[in-house]
Amino acid sequence: MSAFEEYRFSPAQFSGVVRLFPIPNLVMFPNVMQPLRVFEPRYCELLRDAMDGDRFVTLAVLASGWQADYEGRPRLQPFACLGKVAACQECDDGTHNILLVGLRRVHLLKELPPTKAYREATALVCEDVYPPNQHERRAELKRELYGRLSEWLPGLPEVREQLGQLLHSTVSLGVLTDILSYALEIDSAEKEVLLSEANVHRRAELLLGHLAASPDEGHAVAGFPPDFSTN
């Protein structure tokens, strides 16, 4: 996608250590842009370090029960999204508005001992995996997604048309499933499963399974891009 050319990921850029920015009720995916407001002191420190370095920020997913220890180190889901700050605007009150580009899903391996106000962990980049010699199945999955989405969005012809253009474009199935997983109003727990799946065909099948199981829930698509996060 041309809008992301400047933010192509190179493994040589990645140190293997991620700055963790866990946000309640948000599951970030590669290949999308997410606006965020950064205002907690620990995350303002994280942002300063990122901007002074590689500009990488990793949006982690808080596990259930996080409310009891939000100010501390609540448990995280094992998969997260490595992102890069595309734009950063400092406000008069010291907070920041940023635009984050999702680059790769990462598997969090081990959290590091605390030396800063924010959390860090070692992580492994998970590249998309395509089953070999299954080009026809890949095309079939795209067609199935279009058919299922047409049923899911009967009252939104403009959105359906835009999604149809996306589905019939040269965008890869991996990128497509990430964009749809992010944009569709799907339960956070199911989004976490989609984020954890590096096998593109299985990810598409999981998405199709959700669309088939929830035929009456797909009357809306999350705003793209959404409003600034309040977390």
Q: Which of 171, 164, 170 is nearest to 145 (CA)?
A: 164
Residue, of 135 and 224, whose pLDDT is higher = 135
* Whether residues 172 and 80 fall in one domain: no
pLDDT at 193: 96
* Whether residues 83 and 23 fall in one domain: yes
* Whether residues 118 and 33 fall in one domain: yes
The answer to whether residue 226 scores a pLDDT higher than 50 is: no
Q: Which amino acid is located at 23 in the chain?
A: I
> 50-103, pLDDT tens digit by residue?
999 999 999 999 988 888 778 788 899 999 999 999 999 999 998 999 999 999
Domain assignment present for residue 230? The answer is no
Domain span including residue 93: 2-126
> 160-198, pLDDT tens digit by residue?
667 667 667 778 999 999 998 998 888 899 999 999 999
CATH number of 56's domain: 2.30.130.40
* Whether residues 96 and 166 fall in one domain: no
* Whether residues 40 and 119 fall in one domain: yes
Domain assignment present for residue 109? The answer is yes
Element (DSSP H or E) covering residue 56: strand 56-59
pLDDT at 228: 40
Angstrom distance (rounded) from CA 110 to CA 115:
15
Element (DSSP H or E) covering residue 49: helix 41-52
> 91-115, pLDDT tens digit by residue?
999 899 999 999 999 999 999 999 9
* Whether residues 38 and 140 fall in one domain: no
Domain assignment present for residue 224? The answer is no
The answer to whether residue 141 scores a pLDDT higher than 90 is: yes
Report in angstroms the alpha-carbon separations of 54 from 4, 10, 159: 16, 12, 35
Q: Tell me, what DSSP letter sits at residue 4?
A: G
> 2-19, pLDDT tens digit by residue?
445 567 788 888 999 999
* Whether residues 87 and 119 fall in one domain: yes
Overall domain count for the chain: 2
* Whether residues 103 and 144 fall in one domain: no
Q: pTM of the prediction? A: 0.86
Domain assignment present for residue 221? The answer is no
* Whether residues 189 and 106 fall in one domain: no
* Whether residues 74 and 139 fall in one domain: no
* Whether residues 13 and 113 fall in one domain: yes
* Whether residues 115 and 142 fall in one domain: no
Angstrom distance (rounded) from CA 29 to CA 27:
7
Any idea what the Cα angle at residue 59 is, between residues 58 and 63, rounded to 5°? Answer: 125
Domain assignment present for residue 71? The answer is yes
